[in-house]
Chains A and B, each alone.
Chain A
């Protein structure tokens, strides 16, 4: 398999750089409700290092998805601020990759053209799209091979299963070498077996690009399996009530799920989940 096609210069500087890539500074969120403001997120302060994989878990309605939207800049933090390389995020960052629970794909494009969509929009790829098309196709094929979709390049979305579409959408979220990968319950709609398969594939993809990844999930095993750190959010108005560092070696395997260490992390986190 071909090695990551990244500009190696940027990844080298990232590994040297130990200052946080993302800093949450007293981030809060409130919504108008029956005439007054209702606090959804009380205060979240944390920082994420380059190349770290973190997860947010917590009861539904605690504002996990809002945190993703704030980081992406799609809806910047209304209270406090999130800083990316020291600068507050106020508008959409264009070096993020996003995957949602609903793996939206463009039905008029086949798999490989769907995966290549970001390259038609994000610079510098956009300007080079015509000259370097062959190289870009190769990048896409590489990613698709990592998630075992190499034989489905020419298929249209309706010809793929839900899991396959989600794998393609993960490839799309990573093809432009984003510095931040945002995952909003990407495997929430898949069955248990497919989901575990997806964890390994996501890990393989992520280990190739090593970008900061933020995963929102309800599945604690998923959080433990994939993350370097897991943040547990409390009920509304929420804040980070617990943080667990996962030091399982990588690449992690599904067998590790049965290990005592894995279950130790799992039960630590489980103990801190409150129900609304």
Chain B
């Protein structure tokens, strides 16, 4: 009886919130205990309560830098969506563009982006531009690849049906290609959003004047480890919220995808 109740709970909607919440609380509790039991110095690993204290104490700095990180990430991400969708469209629809651009894209994507940030800093200065660009560079590739993949995987029979009706390329894209690609786009947006955060933070920690990455570097050089951890946790929370937002959007927009 108990097991069937548990099964039912797993299938319920609330399980998706309650279980991760319990896991998070447990993780922090274990963390706190470990720090106390093993007498880990704050300098190595601050306890969650100390991180919370630092978070409250430095709340204004955390807030200001979070906002900076958030908007640079979102801007870079937004650019990545536009460029990624357009590039993916060309690669997916044109053999010429595929042969010409795809190898270049792959080669470019293998360059570690951290290696480009110093160049950006020289070109644009230590401000929000390198962070936005790095976020963009990390995020556009998965979007472009997924859009191309979505367009390529339209069933040949469906293409035949449309073509035999005399549909134009634009009509085929509008009626079949685009909606068929949406699930692929949403899958890539979730990955790309996390990538954009990584890009921003990499760039902020190498060359910037603000942002959570910048704050973490500053805090560690001041030996303020609890503040660095507080910034990390804020980053994680922002990442999860953005991810959750896309899952919500996905369920609304492509309710038909299974």
Determine whether the beta carbon of A104 is less than 8 Å from that of B157: yes
Determine whether the beta carbon of A102 is less than 8 Å from that of B155: yes
Closest partner residue, chain B, to A119 (CB atom): B165
- CB contact under 8 A between A121 and B167, given known A106-B176, A107-B257: yes
In the bound assembly, the distance between CA atoms of A117 and B171 in angstroms comes to: 11
- CB contact under 8 A between A108 and B164, given known A100-B157, A158-B258: no
Q: Which residues of B contact A122 (CB under 8 A)?
A: 165-166
- With an 8 A cutoff between CB atoms, is B123 at the interface? no
Determine whether the beta carbon of A108 is less than 8 Å from that of B162: no
In the bound assembly, the distance between CA atoms of A236 and B161 in angstroms comes to: 28
Q: Which of B164, B175, B179 contacts A73 (CB 8 A)?
A: B164
Determine whether the beta carbon of A121 is less than 8 Å from that of B256: no
Q: Which residues of A contact B105 (CB under 8 A)?
A: none
In the bound assembly, the distance between CA atoms of A92 and B171 in angstroms comes to: 15
Q: Report the minimum CB–CB distance from B155 to chain A (whole Å).
A: 5
Q: Which of B155, B162, B257 contacts A121 (CB 8 A)?
A: B162
Q: Report the minimum CB–CB distance from A181 to chain B (whole Å).
A: 11
Q: Mark A93-116, 1 if CB is under 8 A from B, else 0.
A: 110111010101011100000000
- With an 8 A cutoff between CB atoms, is A166 at the interface? no
Q: Specify the main secondary structure of chain B where it touches its partner.
A: helix
- CB contact under 8 A between A93 and B164, given known A104-B158, A117-B175, A121-B171: yes
When A and B form their complex, what is the total count of cross-chain residue pairs whose Cβ atoms lie within 8 Å?
56
Q: Report the minimum CB–CB distance from B130 to chain A (whole Å).
A: 40
Q: Which residues of B contact A97 (CB under 8 A)?
A: 164
Q: Report the minimum CB–CB distance from A268 to chain B (whole Å).
A: 33
- CB contact under 8 A between A106 and B158, given known A121-B171, A121-B175, A158-B258: yes
Total interface residues in chain A, CB < 8 Å: 26
Q: Which residues of A contact B167 (CB under 8 A)?
A: 121
Q: Report the minimum CB–CB distance from A184 to chain B (whole Å).
A: 9
- With an 8 A cutoff between CB atoms, is A239 at the interface? no
Total interface residues in chain B, CB < 8 Å: 19
Determine whether the beta carbon of A72 is less than 8 Å from that of B164: yes
Q: Report the minimum CB–CB distance from A154 to chain B (whole Å).
A: 12
Q: Which residues of B contact A210 (CB under 8 A)?
A: none
Determine whether the beta carbon of A94 is less than 8 Å from that of B158: no
Q: Report the minimum CB–CB distance from A159 to chain B (whole Å).
A: 10
Determine whether the beta carbon of A104 is less than 8 Å from that of B166: no
Q: Which residues of A contact B164 (CB under 8 A)?
A: 72-74, 92-94, 96-98, 182
- With an 8 A cutoff between CB atoms, is B220 at the interface? no
Determine whether the beta carbon of B175 is less than 8 Å from that of A108: no
- With an 8 A cutoff between CB atoms, is B163 at the interface? yes
Complex A-B: 26 CB contacts under 8 Å: A74-B163, A92-B163, A92-B164, A93-B164, A94-B164, A94-B166, A98-B160, A98-B161, A100-B160, A102-B155, A102-B157, A104-B157, A106-B158, A106-B175, A107-B257, A107-B258, A108-B257, A117-B175, A118-B165, A121-B162, A121-B165, A121-B166, A121-B171, A122-B165, A122-B166, A156-B256
